[in-house]
Amino acid sequence: MEQIGLRRWSAGRSLAALAFATGLLPLCFSNAAAAQASAPVVQTRMGEIRGKLDGKVRAFLGIPYAAPPVGDLRWRAPQPPVGWTGALDATKAGNQCPQTRVRDQGVVGSENCLFLNIYAPDTPDKALPVMVWIHGGTFVVGSGSQYDGHVLAQKGHLIVVTINYRLGPFGFLANRSLDGADPGHLSGNYGLLDQQAALRWVKDNIEPFGGDPGKVTVAGESAGAISIGLQLVSPAAAGLFEHAILESGPFLHLSTLDQAETRGDQFAAKLGCSGSAECLRSRSTAEALNAIPASPISLGTPVWFPVVDGHLIPSQPADAIAAGHLNKVPLINGSNRDEGTLFAAFGGKALSAQEFTTAMQSRFGGNAERVLAAYPPAVYPSPAQASAAGLGDVFFSCRILKAGELLSAWVPVYQYEFDDPNAPNVFAARPPFPFGAYHGSEIQYVLGSVLAKTTATPAQRALSESMMGYWINFIGTGEPGGTAPKWERFHADEPRILSLSPEKTHYESGFASVHHCDLWNSIRP
């Protein structure tokens, strides 16, 4: 992404802020305790799979969609899974991919992690629409099993699939010593290749679960939505999905391969493995994960992130879309009103008004006066909240609006802004300031977990029902539809942005003005 360092903007951001502020939401509200009337068994090309019945939904968990990327398969494109004899026990989630725990920086997970989970209605119906969910987490944390598809599968009469993909150095290391037999003879972007392998598995195997392989929607939030944006411009992803949903995913600009390989050289040197793929593969999971600490990651200069490699991602996504080089599918695209609050709240030392002003002057030089005029600390309850507003606007709202403008020239785009100022807070019982419609807060509305929250108001539950209705319609037809109001297409010259609010869902005016997009577009084209 563009070289605007989040740490420079806000005086330092920790892994914790970036991790749980980018999609690591605790949304597992499984009905595992419910009585299981029977154990559903499905016959796939790989063999039988035995799941479990949770209420009116069949759940099949921990299904391998690729061979374990371990040993000589570490830092290679995903290989086909090996079949099995007998029925695969799919009643428990598989391993999450290796990552650093947010709270204590300990290492968790296993490199044998390429699993997916399927939630299907307990009906004899066939040809159901399918949604494949790609989790967020700044490409360094998270797993598919953190997101429960029961409610959406039952309410929408559709199939929900959640997936893992390789993270951190295992998913996104670019290093010349690893170039070789993989597609394009280029290293890096392994996590994106994993996502494509999972989508191919779904296309090949979802029919026995009742799904329609010709009606697959790929959906995700934050890093998951960024991934989907990149799959839109990846020729290798052509035909793997028919619709796309991007929630809070700015994806238009990436680091180059040269930049990524420079970081990869530093990584290899830290492991004592410069120039040796064999040496790199001999290092333990923990050694590899900790060779470059996750804490320096920022939205401006990420350590582990997809890159423009000239093959899987042939060119900068913004350039590809402008030229019409994309997989042309209908899509939902949007952001949240208060994208920056989590980053500002949990990212480090609180700034005084003078420190905030000094930071802006240092970061933006001759443009600092304009930035301070747009975000005057005296107008906000605290400098941290001024910082939060700027962070959300520059890194998310304006970039996501720009993506919608570019995409709408080629495909149907349905643009939204989620705006519940009192969205249930899943992160802090006593937040330092109100989070508002914070980054990731819409997921609980889309997947339906807000319906069960005792703290949710009737208006919030109604908003969740409405959002699920839009998403379900789109997954089934490629159009969100709706009657209150009907969701119309977005065009750059007619920017109809649907405000999803518990007060009233309506078309908003002045999105670009509220988020100071003219300012940010002039500073960062």
Give the dihedral of Cα atoms 445, 143, 132, 38; nearest 10 deg. -90
CA gap 75, 45 in Å, rounded: 27
Residue 181: alpha-carbon gap to chain centroid? 29
Query: Catalytic: 222?
Result: yes
Distances (CA, A) of 306 to 6, 167, 224, 252, 316: 18, 10, 12, 12, 11
- 10, 145, 187, 222: the catalytic one is 222
Active site residue 442: no
Residue 326 has what DSSP assignment?
Answer: S
DSSP 3-state assignment of 163? strand
The angle, 0 to 180 degrees and rounded to 10, between the axes of the packed helices 353-364 and 383-392 is: 30
Joined tokens for residue 514 = 């509220």
Residue 215 is inside which H or E element, if any? strand 211-221
Which residues, listed in sequence order, are joined to residue 159 by a DSSP beta bridge?
130
Q: How far apart are CA 58 and CA 206, in angstroms?
A: 13
In 3D space, the residue among 397, 345, 398, 393 whose CA is nearest the CA of residue 371 turns out to be 393
Give Cα 93 to chain centroid, integer Å: 20
339 is catalytic: yes
* Joined tokens for residue 242: 């028919």
Which residues is 414 bridged to in the sheet? 332
- Nearest residue to 311 via CA among 189, 181, 177: 189
Q: Do the beta carbons of residue 140 and residue 444 sit within 8 Å?
A: no
Active-site option among 150, 439, 515, 516: 439
Report residue 414 CA to chain centroid gap.
Answer: 18
**Rounded distance between C-alpha atoms, residue 16 and residue 238, angstroms:** 35
Amino acid at 416: Y
Exposure string for 438-461, b = 16+ CB within 10 A, e = fewer: bbbbbbbbbbbbbbeeeebeeebb
- DSSP character string of 37-70: S---EEE-SS-EEE-EEETTEEEEEEEE-S----
Bridge partners for 131 per DSSP:
160, 217
Q: Where are the beta strands (DSSP E) in 65-210?
A: 87-89, 99-100, 107-108, 115-121, 128-134, 159-163
Strands, E assignment, 311-411: 331-336
Q: Look at residues 145, 247, 249, 250 and name the one whose alpha carbon lies nearest to residue 470.
A: 247
What does the alpha-carbon distance between residue 367 and residue 378 come to, in Å, rounded to a whole number? Answer: 19
Tell me: cis bond preceding 250? Omega within 30 of 0 counts.
Answer: no
Q: Find the catalytic residue in 242, 339, 405, 442.
A: 339
d(CA 392, CA 121): 37
Catalytic residues: 222, 339, 439
